[in-house]
Structure 1
Amino acid sequence: MVQAFIRKIDALTEVIGKATMGLALLLVVLVMADVAMRYVFSISFASVRELEWHIYSLLFLFGGAYTLRHDGHVRVDVAYQHFSPRMRALVNVIGCLIFLFPGCYLVIRTSAMFTKFSWMMAEQSPDPGGLPFRWFLKGCLPVAFGLLALQGVSFFLKNLLVLLGKAEAEEA
Protein backbone atom coordinates (compact mmCIF):
# COMPACT_ATOMS: atom_id res chain seq x y z
CA MET A 1 0.00 0.00 0.00
CA VAL A 2 2.87 2.37 0.82
CA GLN A 3 4.55 1.55 -2.49
CA ALA A 4 1.30 2.34 -4.37
CA PHE A 5 1.05 5.68 -2.56
CA ILE A 6 4.68 6.47 -3.46
CA ARG A 7 4.04 5.58 -7.12
CA LYS A 8 1.02 7.92 -7.26
CA ILE A 9 2.99 10.83 -5.83
CA ASP A 10 5.88 10.15 -8.20
CA ALA A 11 3.50 9.93 -11.18
CA LEU A 12 1.93 13.30 -10.30
CA THR A 13 5.38 14.85 -9.96
CA GLU A 14 6.41 13.42 -13.34
CA VAL A 15 3.38 14.93 -15.08
CA ILE A 16 3.92 18.35 -13.50
CA GLY A 17 7.67 18.15 -14.14
CA LYS A 18 7.22 17.33 -17.83
CA ALA A 19 4.74 20.20 -18.22
CA THR A 20 7.20 22.52 -16.47
CA MET A 21 9.93 21.52 -18.91
CA GLY A 22 7.84 23.00 -21.70
CA LEU A 23 8.10 26.35 -19.96
CA ALA A 24 11.88 26.28 -20.44
CA LEU A 25 11.50 26.19 -24.20
CA LEU A 26 8.88 28.92 -24.06
CA LEU A 27 11.22 31.07 -21.96
CA VAL A 28 14.11 30.64 -24.42
CA VAL A 29 11.90 31.65 -27.35
CA LEU A 30 10.48 34.60 -25.43
CA VAL A 31 13.91 35.91 -24.38
CA MET A 32 15.23 35.56 -27.93
CA ALA A 33 12.25 37.49 -29.27
CA ASP A 34 12.66 40.16 -26.58
CA VAL A 35 16.35 40.61 -27.36
CA ALA A 36 15.66 40.75 -31.12
CA MET A 37 12.94 43.36 -30.61
CA ARG A 38 15.23 45.46 -28.42
CA TYR A 39 18.37 45.34 -30.55
CA VAL A 40 16.90 45.10 -34.04
CA PHE A 41 13.77 47.22 -33.73
CA SER A 42 14.63 49.32 -30.62
CA ILE A 43 11.33 48.47 -28.93
CA SER A 44 10.69 46.88 -25.57
CA PHE A 45 7.57 46.00 -23.64
CA ALA A 46 7.25 45.84 -19.85
CA SER A 47 4.75 42.99 -20.22
CA VAL A 48 7.29 40.84 -22.11
CA ARG A 49 9.98 41.39 -19.47
CA GLU A 50 7.50 40.57 -16.72
CA LEU A 51 6.33 37.47 -18.56
CA GLU A 52 9.97 36.34 -18.69
CA TRP A 53 10.38 36.51 -14.92
CA HIS A 54 6.92 35.00 -14.37
CA ILE A 55 7.87 31.97 -16.48
CA TYR A 56 11.28 31.73 -14.80
CA SER A 57 9.53 31.81 -11.41
CA LEU A 58 7.17 29.02 -12.45
CA LEU A 59 10.13 26.96 -13.70
CA PHE A 60 11.88 27.35 -10.38
CA LEU A 61 8.80 26.76 -8.26
CA PHE A 62 7.35 23.74 -10.05
CA GLY A 63 10.74 22.27 -10.92
CA GLY A 64 11.54 21.75 -7.24
CA ALA A 65 9.40 18.65 -6.74
CA TYR A 66 10.62 17.15 -10.02
CA THR A 67 14.23 17.80 -9.02
CA LEU A 68 13.68 16.07 -5.69
CA ARG A 69 11.96 13.16 -7.47
CA HIS A 70 15.10 12.61 -9.56
CA ASP A 71 17.51 13.25 -6.67
CA GLY A 72 18.94 16.30 -8.41
CA HIS A 73 18.79 18.61 -5.43
CA VAL A 74 21.89 20.23 -4.01
CA ARG A 75 23.71 18.54 -1.19
CA VAL A 76 27.29 18.26 -0.09
CA ASP A 77 28.31 14.86 -1.44
CA VAL A 78 31.84 14.84 0.01
CA ALA A 79 30.84 12.44 2.80
CA TYR A 80 27.44 11.29 1.51
CA GLN A 81 28.89 9.52 -1.54
CA HIS A 82 30.94 7.27 0.74
CA PHE A 83 28.02 6.28 2.99
CA SER A 84 26.33 2.92 2.81
CA PRO A 85 22.81 2.84 1.32
CA ARG A 86 21.27 2.59 4.80
CA MET A 87 23.34 5.52 6.09
CA ARG A 88 22.29 7.60 3.06
CA ALA A 89 18.68 6.70 3.78
CA LEU A 90 19.13 7.80 7.39
CA VAL A 91 20.62 11.13 6.28
CA ASN A 92 17.73 11.62 3.85
CA VAL A 93 15.09 10.82 6.49
CA ILE A 94 16.68 13.22 8.97
CA GLY A 95 17.07 15.87 6.25
CA CYS A 96 13.37 15.61 5.41
CA LEU A 97 12.35 15.93 9.05
CA ILE A 98 14.71 18.77 9.95
CA PHE A 99 14.90 20.78 6.73
CA LEU A 100 12.47 19.83 3.95
CA PHE A 101 9.16 19.50 5.79
CA PRO A 102 9.64 22.47 8.14
CA GLY A 103 10.92 24.61 5.24
CA CYS A 104 7.92 23.78 3.07
CA TYR A 105 5.58 24.41 5.98
CA LEU A 106 7.11 27.83 6.66
CA VAL A 107 6.89 28.93 3.03
CA ILE A 108 3.31 27.70 2.69
CA ARG A 109 2.25 29.33 5.93
CA THR A 110 3.97 32.66 5.34
CA SER A 111 2.89 32.90 1.71
CA ALA A 112 -0.75 31.99 2.34
CA MET A 113 -1.76 35.37 3.73
CA PHE A 114 -0.15 37.55 1.10
CA THR A 115 -1.40 35.14 -1.56
CA LYS A 116 -4.93 35.53 -0.20
CA PHE A 117 -4.71 39.32 -0.27
CA SER A 118 -3.20 39.30 -3.73
CA TRP A 119 -6.08 37.16 -5.03
CA MET A 120 -8.70 39.27 -3.23
CA MET A 121 -7.47 42.48 -4.82
CA ALA A 122 -6.66 40.84 -8.18
CA GLU A 123 -3.13 42.22 -7.87
CA GLN A 124 -1.46 43.31 -11.05
CA SER A 125 1.79 44.90 -12.07
CA PRO A 126 2.38 48.45 -10.87
CA ASP A 127 4.31 49.15 -14.09
CA PRO A 128 2.51 50.79 -17.00
CA GLY A 129 2.01 48.09 -19.61
CA GLY A 130 2.74 45.35 -17.07
CA LEU A 131 0.89 42.08 -16.67
CA PRO A 132 -2.51 42.02 -15.00
CA PHE A 133 -2.18 38.67 -13.23
CA ARG A 134 0.49 38.94 -10.53
CA TRP A 135 -2.05 37.30 -8.19
CA PHE A 136 -1.68 34.07 -10.17
CA LEU A 137 2.08 33.94 -9.67
CA LYS A 138 1.73 34.53 -5.93
CA GLY A 139 -0.89 31.79 -5.81
CA CYS A 140 1.64 29.37 -7.24
CA LEU A 141 3.93 29.75 -4.21
CA PRO A 142 1.95 27.68 -1.70
CA VAL A 143 0.87 25.23 -4.42
CA ALA A 144 4.44 24.59 -5.57
CA PHE A 145 5.74 24.15 -2.04
CA GLY A 146 2.80 21.87 -1.30
CA LEU A 147 3.86 19.73 -4.26
CA LEU A 148 7.45 19.80 -3.04
CA ALA A 149 6.30 18.66 0.41
CA LEU A 150 4.19 15.90 -1.20
CA GLN A 151 7.20 14.69 -3.19
CA GLY A 152 9.13 14.94 0.06
CA VAL A 153 6.68 12.47 1.59
CA SER A 154 7.48 10.04 -1.23
CA PHE A 155 11.22 10.60 -0.78
CA PHE A 156 10.88 10.19 3.00
CA LEU A 157 8.87 6.97 2.70
CA LYS A 158 11.28 5.46 0.16
CA ASN A 159 14.20 6.10 2.47
CA LEU A 160 12.29 4.92 5.51
CA LEU A 161 11.58 1.64 3.72
CA VAL A 162 15.31 1.26 3.07
CA LEU A 163 16.03 1.89 6.76
CA LEU A 164 13.44 -0.70 7.77
CA GLY A 165 14.88 -3.23 5.34
CA LYS A 166 11.68 -3.32 3.28
CA ALA A 167 13.24 -1.98 0.06
CA GLU A 168 16.60 -1.81 -1.64
CA ALA A 169 18.36 1.56 -1.98
CA GLU A 170 18.02 1.45 -5.79
CA GLU A 171 14.23 1.36 -5.40
CA ALA A 172 14.37 4.42 -3.15
Structure 2
Amino acid sequence: MPGPIRAFVRSVDAVNRVVGRFAMYLLFVLAAVLLYATASRVVAGVPVNWALEMSQFLLSAYYLLGGAYSMQQNAHVRMDLAYGRLSPRGRATTDAITILFVIFYLGVLLAGGISSTNYAITYGQKNYTAWAPLLWPVKVVMTIGVFLMLLQALSTFFKDLAEARGKPIA
Protein backbone atom coordinates (compact mmCIF):
# COMPACT_ATOMS: atom_id res chain seq x y z
CA MET A 1 0.00 0.00 0.00
CA PRO A 2 1.20 3.55 -0.70
CA GLY A 3 2.64 5.61 2.14
CA PRO A 4 -0.32 8.01 2.50
CA ILE A 5 -2.72 5.07 2.94
CA ARG A 6 -0.43 3.53 5.57
CA ALA A 7 -0.28 6.89 7.36
CA PHE A 8 -4.09 7.18 7.17
CA VAL A 9 -4.55 3.70 8.64
CA ARG A 10 -2.08 4.33 11.46
CA SER A 11 -3.54 7.73 12.36
CA VAL A 12 -7.18 6.55 12.27
CA ASP A 13 -6.30 3.51 14.37
CA ALA A 14 -4.45 5.70 16.88
CA VAL A 15 -7.30 8.21 17.20
CA ASN A 16 -9.94 5.50 17.57
CA ARG A 17 -7.84 3.67 20.14
CA VAL A 18 -7.73 6.81 22.31
CA VAL A 19 -11.41 7.68 21.79
CA GLY A 20 -12.49 4.07 22.39
CA ARG A 21 -10.57 3.82 25.64
CA PHE A 22 -12.05 7.15 26.73
CA ALA A 23 -15.53 5.81 25.93
CA MET A 24 -14.93 2.87 28.25
CA TYR A 25 -14.84 5.26 31.19
CA LEU A 26 -18.28 6.61 30.31
CA LEU A 27 -19.71 3.50 31.95
CA PHE A 28 -18.38 4.75 35.30
CA VAL A 29 -20.04 8.12 34.72
CA LEU A 30 -23.25 6.29 33.79
CA ALA A 31 -23.05 4.21 36.97
CA ALA A 32 -22.50 7.37 39.04
CA VAL A 33 -25.55 9.06 37.51
CA LEU A 34 -27.74 6.03 38.16
CA LEU A 35 -26.37 5.60 41.69
CA TYR A 36 -27.04 9.27 42.43
CA ALA A 37 -30.58 8.99 41.06
CA THR A 38 -31.26 5.89 43.15
CA ALA A 39 -29.79 7.39 46.32
CA SER A 40 -31.69 10.62 45.78
CA ARG A 41 -34.96 8.78 45.38
CA VAL A 42 -34.48 6.14 48.11
CA VAL A 43 -32.54 8.06 50.77
CA ALA A 44 -33.71 11.63 50.30
CA GLY A 45 -37.11 10.84 48.79
CA VAL A 46 -36.47 13.34 46.01
CA PRO A 47 -36.52 11.88 42.51
CA VAL A 48 -34.39 13.56 39.86
CA ASN A 49 -36.06 14.08 36.51
CA TRP A 50 -32.86 14.24 34.46
CA ALA A 51 -31.23 10.91 35.37
CA LEU A 52 -33.02 8.71 32.81
CA GLU A 53 -32.27 10.99 29.88
CA MET A 54 -28.71 11.61 31.00
CA SER A 55 -28.13 7.87 31.25
CA GLN A 56 -29.55 7.40 27.75
CA PHE A 57 -27.25 10.14 26.40
CA LEU A 58 -24.22 8.62 28.14
CA LEU A 59 -25.03 5.14 26.86
CA SER A 60 -25.45 6.50 23.33
CA ALA A 61 -22.08 8.23 23.56
CA TYR A 62 -20.55 5.03 24.95
CA TYR A 63 -21.59 2.77 22.11
CA LEU A 64 -21.22 5.31 19.31
CA LEU A 65 -17.77 6.51 20.37
CA GLY A 66 -16.71 2.95 21.19
CA GLY A 67 -18.01 1.43 17.96
CA ALA A 68 -14.94 2.30 15.91
CA TYR A 69 -12.65 0.87 18.59
CA SER A 70 -14.75 -2.28 18.64
CA MET A 71 -14.37 -2.59 14.86
CA GLN A 72 -10.65 -2.00 15.16
CA GLN A 73 -10.33 -4.82 17.71
CA ASN A 74 -12.47 -7.20 15.60
CA ALA A 75 -14.97 -7.41 18.46
CA HIS A 76 -18.11 -7.11 16.36
CA VAL A 77 -20.32 -10.16 16.02
CA ARG A 78 -19.99 -12.07 12.77
CA MET A 79 -22.19 -14.78 11.36
CA ASP A 80 -19.94 -17.67 10.47
CA LEU A 81 -21.50 -20.05 7.96
CA ALA A 82 -18.64 -20.48 5.50
CA TYR A 83 -16.30 -17.69 6.62
CA GLY A 84 -14.35 -19.86 9.07
CA ARG A 85 -13.45 -22.32 6.31
CA LEU A 86 -11.85 -19.66 4.14
CA SER A 87 -8.12 -19.03 4.01
CA PRO A 88 -6.84 -15.82 5.64
CA ARG A 89 -6.63 -14.20 2.20
CA GLY A 90 -10.14 -15.43 1.36
CA ARG A 91 -11.45 -13.91 4.59
CA ALA A 92 -9.68 -10.64 3.82
CA THR A 93 -11.20 -10.59 0.31
CA THR A 94 -14.67 -11.27 1.72
CA ASP A 95 -14.18 -8.58 4.37
CA ALA A 96 -12.92 -6.07 1.79
CA ILE A 97 -16.07 -6.59 -0.27
CA THR A 98 -18.59 -6.59 2.58
CA ILE A 99 -17.07 -3.54 4.30
CA LEU A 100 -18.08 -1.52 1.25
CA PHE A 101 -21.73 -2.00 2.29
CA VAL A 102 -20.87 -0.80 5.80
CA ILE A 103 -19.08 2.24 4.35
CA PHE A 104 -22.12 3.10 2.23
CA TYR A 105 -24.44 2.71 5.24
CA LEU A 106 -22.21 4.84 7.45
CA GLY A 107 -21.98 7.51 4.74
CA VAL A 108 -25.78 7.77 4.59
CA LEU A 109 -25.95 7.74 8.40
CA LEU A 110 -23.34 10.50 8.59
CA ALA A 111 -25.25 12.67 6.12
CA GLY A 112 -28.40 12.26 8.21
CA GLY A 113 -26.47 12.94 11.40
CA ILE A 114 -25.00 16.14 10.03
CA SER A 115 -28.42 17.31 8.86
CA SER A 116 -30.04 16.47 12.20
CA THR A 117 -27.23 18.12 14.17
CA ASN A 118 -27.45 21.24 12.02
CA TYR A 119 -31.20 21.40 12.62
CA ALA A 120 -30.75 20.96 16.39
CA ILE A 121 -28.14 23.75 16.53
CA THR A 122 -30.03 26.14 14.25
CA TYR A 123 -33.39 25.84 16.01
CA GLY A 124 -32.22 25.11 19.57
CA GLN A 125 -34.04 21.77 19.52
CA LYS A 126 -35.02 20.46 22.95
CA ASN A 127 -36.34 17.12 24.10
CA TYR A 128 -40.05 17.03 24.97
CA THR A 129 -39.66 16.03 28.61
CA ALA A 130 -39.81 17.73 32.00
CA TRP A 131 -36.04 18.27 31.96
CA ALA A 132 -36.11 19.51 28.33
CA PRO A 133 -32.37 19.34 27.58
CA LEU A 134 -30.90 20.79 24.41
CA LEU A 135 -30.31 17.98 21.94
CA TRP A 136 -27.41 19.40 19.96
CA PRO A 137 -24.67 18.19 22.33
CA VAL A 138 -25.72 14.56 22.10
CA LYS A 139 -26.29 14.87 18.35
CA VAL A 140 -22.77 16.27 17.91
CA VAL A 141 -21.33 13.34 19.86
CA MET A 142 -23.42 10.90 17.83
CA THR A 143 -22.28 12.43 14.54
CA ILE A 144 -18.65 12.33 15.65
CA GLY A 145 -19.10 8.67 16.59
CA VAL A 146 -20.52 7.81 13.18
CA PHE A 147 -17.71 9.78 11.48
CA LEU A 148 -15.05 7.91 13.47
CA MET A 149 -16.75 4.62 12.62
CA LEU A 150 -16.69 5.58 8.92
CA LEU A 151 -12.98 6.39 9.13
CA GLN A 152 -12.33 3.08 10.89
CA ALA A 153 -14.32 1.23 8.23
CA LEU A 154 -12.12 2.84 5.56
CA SER A 155 -9.02 1.88 7.55
CA THR A 156 -10.31 -1.69 7.85
CA PHE A 157 -11.01 -1.76 4.11
CA PHE A 158 -7.42 -0.77 3.34
CA LYS A 159 -6.06 -3.36 5.78
CA ASP A 160 -8.29 -6.08 4.30
CA LEU A 161 -7.34 -5.09 0.76
CA ALA A 162 -3.65 -5.26 1.63
CA GLU A 163 -4.15 -8.65 3.30
CA ALA A 164 -6.06 -9.96 0.28
CA ARG A 165 -3.13 -8.91 -1.93
CA GLY A 166 -0.75 -10.78 0.36
CA LYS A 167 0.98 -7.63 1.65
CA PRO A 168 -0.58 -6.83 5.05
CA ILE A 169 -0.23 -3.41 6.60
CA ALA A 170 1.72 -3.88 9.82
Quote the Cα distance in structure 2 between the aligned partners of 1:41 and 1:81. 55
Q: State the partner residue of 1:167.
A: 168
After the TM superposition, which residues 77-88 of structure 1 pair with which residues of structure 2 at under 5 Å, given as runs? Answer: 77-88=80-91
SS at match of 1:41: coil
Tell me if structure 1 keeps the 8 A contact 2:16–2:68. yes
1:90, 1:159 within 8 Å by CA — same for their partners in 2? yes
Structure 1 unaligned residues grouped into runs of 5+: none
Aligned to 2:156: 155
Q: Structure 2, unaligned stretches of length 5 or more?
A: none
CA displacement 1:33-63 (0-9 Å, x = unmatched)? 2222223333221222211111011011111
For residues 15 and 82 of structure 2, the distance between their equivalents in structure 1, rounded to whole angstroms, comes to: 32
The residue that corresponds to 1:20 in the other structure is: 23
**Corresponding residue to 1:103 among 86, 102, 105:** 105
Question: Do 2:40 and 2:48's aligned partners in 1 also have CA atoms closer than 8 Å?
Answer: no
Counterpart CA distance in 2 for 1:82 and 1:33 is 50
Work out which of the residue numbers 55, 74, 78 in structure 1 matches 2:77.
74
Correspondence 1:29 to 2:32: yes
Q: TM-score, normalised by structure 1?
A: 0.89
Question: For 1:50 and 1:89, how far apart are their aligned partners in 2?
Answer: 41
| Residue number in structure 1 paired with 2:135 | 134
Match of 2:123 in 1: 121
Rounded to whole Å, the distance in 2 between the matches of 1:142 and 1:33 is 28
Contact in 2 for aligned 1:13/1:65 (Cα 8 Å):
yes
Following TM superposition, the consecutive aligned residue runs of length 4 or more in structure 1 with deviations greater than 3 angstroms are none
Matched, 1:64 2:67: yes
Q: Measure how far apart 1:20 and its partner are.
A: 0.8
Which is further off, 100-109 or 29-38?
29-38
d(CA) in 1 for partners of 2:28, 2:143? 24
Find the aligned partners of 1:4 and 1:114 in 2 and give their Cα distance.
32
The number of residue pairs the alignment matches comes to: 167
The alpha-carbon deviation at position 15 of structure 1 amounts to 1.0
Distance in 1 separating the partners of 2:51 and 2:87 = 49
